[in-house]
A = this chain, B = another copy of it.
Amino acid sequence: MKEKTLRALRETSEEYLSGEGLSNLLGVSRTAVWKAVQSLREEGYDIISQARRGYRLNKIPDLLLPAEIRWGLGTRWLGHQIHYHDTLSSTNILAKELARQGAAEGTLVVTEEQKEGRGRRGRTWYSPRGEGVLFSFILRPALQPTHAPQLTFMAAVAVAETLRREYDLPAGIKWPNDIYIGDRKVAGILTELSAEVDGINFVAMGIGVNVNTRLDSFSPSLRARVTSLLQEKGHPIARVLLLQRLLYSLEREYTALSQEGFAPLRRRWLELDLVLGKKVRIIAPERSFTGRAVNVDEYGALLVQEQEGKGGMRRVLAGDVSLR
């Protein structure tokens, strides 16, 4: 009812929609209309009511509300089920919980603020309240767990290409899961999976983008290494529209990966890559070393040529890369 009332207010060509008109249109009592309007106001919608004229939608709140995300969302299945919470521990924690309870592929979790936002390997991911786009979604791919890194590649391509195409930003990918503009991180991806040895139960994929974040919101130690769309474009960015574009792009890339396999995706990933050909320092769980990044293989591993000719080609599945 709430969402129908909102749609009617949006779609009207009149300046005001009368209570009676709304009541007829939706087939409910005027009291029910009034309750729906109150409820929308509580969510942050600015709805003006004037005696004898009716209701007018004056201002939509700058929140990632489900009704806003669905309005004009071009996906076929991604983000049709939405779980929105003003604050969450992290979107991936909730997404995993929902997936365990059987939530469908494409289920979306969105929040304004994470209390325990995390990046890879338990690192903190900080995003000031209401300034980022923080979301997770559930996938149930027919992939072997060993191929799960392909999903991180898929998401990285979707995010980087959306920033390039829709926002004209020179976004690139730093292996394995970060999106950079120049030498500053603008977005990150966290891929978590529940699996048996030979099959994935579900994947919870979390994405965080610094959107309307002022650099001084970050701690001094981060400030030189991060950026945001606000910072790069010089003006605030509509977060809902960005999220819709990301979802559209993610759905398309995921479908392509399912149908065409990893090879075409890998080629596009290579065009966006910021690491290959460069001298890198690998800080890995087993051992750290320096070398030249030369390729990625079909499992998403980074192939690094060790410099001193001692170890030859090394295959890096986990670890951090720093450019030298």
Contacts and interface: CB of A to CB of B under 8 A. Distances in A.
Interface stretch (A13-21, A109-117, A162-170, A196-204): A196-204
Interface in A128-162: 142, 144-146, 148-149, 151-152
Contacts of A152: 197
Interface in A268-324: 285, 299-300, 317-319
A194 B192 contact: yes
Interface residues of A, number: 30
A121 B142 CA distance: 12
A106 interface: no
Contact of A149 (B121, B190, B197, B201): B197
Contact of A198 (B96, B144, B317): B317
A79 interface: no
Contacts of A194: 96, 192-194
Give the interface SS of chain A, mostly helix, strand, loop or mixed: mixed
A195 interface: yes
Contacts of A191: 196-197
Nearest to A153: B197
Given A144-B318, A145-B148, A146-B317, A192 B198 contact: no
16 contacts: A120-B196, A121-B196, A142-B285, A145-B148, A146-B146, A146-B317, A148-B195, A149-B197, A151-B197, A176-B198, A192-B195, A193-B195, A193-B197, A197-B300, A198-B317, A198-B318
Interface of A: 96, 120-121, 142, 144-146, 148-149, 151-152, 176-177, 190-199, 201, 285, 299-300, 317-319
